[in-house]
A and B are shown apart, each in its own frame.
Chain A
Amino acid sequence: MSSRDVSWLQAARSRDRQVLAEIYDQLSPELFRYAYRLLGESNAAEDIVSEAFVRFLQALEAGGGPQDNLRAYLYRIAHNLAMDTHRRDAPVEREDVVNLETMPASDNPAMQAEERISQAQARQLIWRLTPDQRQVILLKFFQGLGNDEVAAALDKPVGAVKALQHRALRSLRRMLQQEHGWGVEGDR
């Protein structure tokens, strides 16, 4: 638990408006990216961000909410919401048209089209993992959370997170190999 989270939560419980706004400003962009990576649709990602923060306020008002790790708490709520959205809308594969020109070259999938699968295909693979494995992969490799924070988000010990990561990577490599021809390079 970071000292920032402690002070944020103390202030949030006393309904400090400035801090509650700061929490939103600091955490909503990364929650948006997380939701987008899960769903591939900006409007749905914005809905999830909004709903996650509303749930946070409702929980605070009811005397509940996160006890320690606010960031992990919001990721957990966002993941639950994304799961429900995906389950509801699963038959339709939606994908925003990403403006490639505005993206950094290293993040530009068109620049690496020959060696990378599409975002929609990657997302499909991610959704074939178990919910816990999916969370570990996205939170750790895409959102940049540490093992402790991922463990807090999943409410599991760090050791369990490492085991989930191991199994998820193995599954992903196997799927990539079988369905997209990835072999030796990806199978380290």
Chain B
Amino acid sequence: MTKDEQSFPPGLDALRAVPERDPTRAAAGRQAYLKAVEEMKSPVSSAGAERHIGWMPTIRKERSPMFSFARILIVLTLALGGTGTTAAYASQSSLPGDPLYGVKLALEDLRLDLTRAPEQEVLLLEDLVETRLQEIGAMVQQGMPINPQLTARLENHLRLALQQTAQLDDPLLIQTMRQIQIRAQEQLRILQQLQANAPSNQQDVLRQTEQAILRVRKTAEDAIDDPATFRLRLGNERPEDAPEQPDLTPGQNDGGEVPNGPGEPQGPCQECGGGPNGPNSGGGGK
């Protein structure tokens, strides 16, 4: 008996008992699977990719209250010609607190509103995430405090990018998620540089942003594995890392440490055996 098996509470052994599968049900499941395999090889029609597969996109980004303002702004820009265009151009390098920063955000919202294809919108949102990171970098360089609204906006871009990706069909979703993974990697690299240069009182904000990007990267990984569950969870507005609800009756206190939640510390383990080559690395018993 391994050390792991010895440490396992025998009170739970009842779970080892599993009934035989119902042969009819098991055979039907196998048959359905083989049928699906057949359909993979020879689609019903060449328009397979265009067929409705039972899920309709319902998630749309919220319309920003700035939309009307932005429309007015664009009209004014066109009307004023060179002056308006110059202002719009000049706003691109503005930072939070600058007079032209509102123009910059309004133009971004307008671009988002005018982008119809979800995959294009995801790319634009990822561009905007990097714009926000550049702004954070400029503020760190100038010794300015990082505006919390700035990081909130960045996190909103990330959230909207996932929502838009959920509207895509599987092949495009997987392709887009791979792009998101690559972009997240680059964003994390930029953040690490910022963290190296930022003063200590700015580190918390940067860490929070880093966590948000890490969550997106993990979500993208999971979505590539299982697009349907990704859509389901996003549709339910349930975060990937949401902890289980405790299974307690009212007034009852389990006195234990569960649920620990996903952020539980992973401290030293006294009874899990050694390293990868230790006694437990080969797996536990049944």
A: residues with CB less than 8 A from B are: 15, 17, 20-21, 24-25, 28-29, 32-33, 36-37, 42-43, 46, 49-50, 53-55, 57-66, 73, 76-77, 80-81, 84, 96, 98-100, 102-103, 107-109, 112, 115-119, 121-133, 138, 140-149, 155, 158-160, 162-167, 169-176, 178-180, 182, 185-186, 188
Q: Would you call A169 and B264 a contact (CB within 8 A)?
A: no
Q: Give the residue among B17, B19, B38, B171 with the most A Cβ atoms within 10 A.
A: B17
Q: Is B145 an interface residue (CB 8 A)?
A: no
> Using an 8 Å CB-CB cutoff, how does the interface string of B169-183 with A read, 1 for contact, 0 for none?
111011100000000
> Using an 8 Å CB-CB cutoff, how does the interface string of B261-286 with A read, 1 for contact, 0 for none?
11010111111110010001111111
Q: Is B99 an interface residue (CB 8 A)?
A: no
Q: Would you call B18 and A33 a contact (CB within 8 A)?
A: yes
Q: Would you call B264 and A21 a contact (CB within 8 A)?
A: no
Instruction: Name the CB-closest residue of B to A62.
Output: B170
Instruction: Known A-B contacts: A57-B33, A185-B10. Give 16 more (CB < 8 A).
Output: A15-B41, A21-B34, A37-B18, A53-B29, A102-B20, A117-B12, A125-B12, A130-B262, A138-B15, A144-B285, A146-B282, A146-B283, A171-B257, A171-B260, A182-B9, A186-B9
A59-B226, A141-B8, A144-B286 in contact; A133/B260 too (CB < 8 A)?
Answer: yes
- Choose one: B6, B260, B283; the contact of A130 (CB below 8 Å): B260
Task: Identify whether the interface residues of A are mostly helix, strand, loop, or mixed.
Answer: helix
**A100: chain B residues within 8 A (beta carbon):** 17
Q: Would you call B174 and A62 a contact (CB within 8 A)?
A: yes
What separation, in Å, do the CA atoms of A96 and B25 have in the docked complex?
15
Q: Give the residue among B8, B15, B174, B262 with the most A Cβ atoms within 10 A.
A: B15
> Using an 8 Å CB-CB cutoff, how does the interface string of B26-54 with A read, 1 for contact, 0 for none?
10011011101110110000000000000
25 contacts between A and B (CB under 8 A): A17-B38, A21-B34, A57-B37, A58-B228, A62-B171, A62-B227, A63-B171, A84-B229, A109-B13, A112-B13, A118-B14, A119-B15, A126-B15, A131-B243, A133-B260, A140-B4, A141-B5, A141-B12, A165-B269, A174-B256, A174-B257, A175-B256, A175-B258, A180-B11, A186-B9
Q: Would you call A58 and B254 a contact (CB within 8 A)?
A: no
Q: Would you call A96 and B266 a contact (CB within 8 A)?
A: no
- Choose one: A109, A146, A163; the contact of B272 (CB below 8 Å): A163
Q: Would you call A171 and B6 a contact (CB within 8 A)?
A: no
B: residues with CB less than 8 A from A are: 4-22, 25-26, 29-30, 32-34, 36-38, 40-41, 169-171, 173-175, 218, 221-222, 224-229, 232, 243-244, 246-247, 254-262, 264, 266-273, 276, 280-286
A128-B254, A188-B7 in contact; A99/B33 too (CB < 8 A)?
Answer: no
Q: Would you call A58 and B9 a contact (CB within 8 A)?
A: no
Q: Would you call B9 and A116 a contact (CB within 8 A)?
A: no
Q: Would you call B254 and A169 a contact (CB within 8 A)?
A: no
Shortest Cβ gap from A114 to chain B (Å): 12
**B37: chain A residues within 8 A (beta carbon):** 15, 17, 20-21, 57
- Choose one: B40, B247, B255; the contact of A174 (CB below 8 Å): B255
Instruction: Name the CB-closest residue of A to B280.
Output: A147
What separation, in Å, do the CA atoms of A164 and B228 have in the docked complex?
27
**B285: chain A residues within 8 A (beta carbon):** 141, 144
Instruction: Name the CB-closest residue of B to A155.
Output: B221
**A164: chain B residues within 8 A (beta carbon):** 266
Q: Would you call B11 and A53 a contact (CB within 8 A)?
A: no
A116-B13, A160-B266, A163-B269 in contact; A46/B244 too (CB < 8 A)?
Answer: no
Q: Would you call A119 and B284 a contact (CB within 8 A)?
A: no
What separation, in Å, do the CA atoms of A176 and B257 have in the docked complex?
13
A109-B14, A145-B283, A166-B272 in contact; A130/B243 too (CB < 8 A)?
Answer: yes
